[in-house]
Amino acid sequence: MAAPALEDKYQFRTEWSEEDQEWVGLCDAFPLMSWLEPDREAAETGIRSVVAEAIEILKAEGKPLPPPSRPMNDQS
């Protein structure tokens, strides 16, 4: 069984934004990032993509990553 991608170790959520009248995708480990979409699933897909890109940039620059939200041995 392949190990989950690192971005899968972070917890994501979507919330309705009254101000924007769209769904906002969020990740607590990356609090300055969000993704707005009219569709809830698209908001989650968007924030996951942004976090994956941020992880690649941080790794390429040799910078530390935020600790994962889930234990690294959690397979869920």
Q: How far apart are CA 61 and CA 51, in angstroms?
A: 15
Q: How far apart are CA 7 and CA 44, in angstroms?
A: 12
Interval 22-57: pLDDT, tens: 999 999 999 999 999 999 999 999 999 999 999 999
Kindly write down the DSSP assignment for every residue of 52-69, as one continuous string.
HHHHHHHHHTTPPPPPPS
- Dihedral through CA 29, CA 42, CA 35, CA 15, nearest 10? -70
Domain ranges, ordered by start, for the chain: 6-60
Cβ pair 9, 75 in contact under 8 A? no
Is the model more confident about 74 or about 22?
22
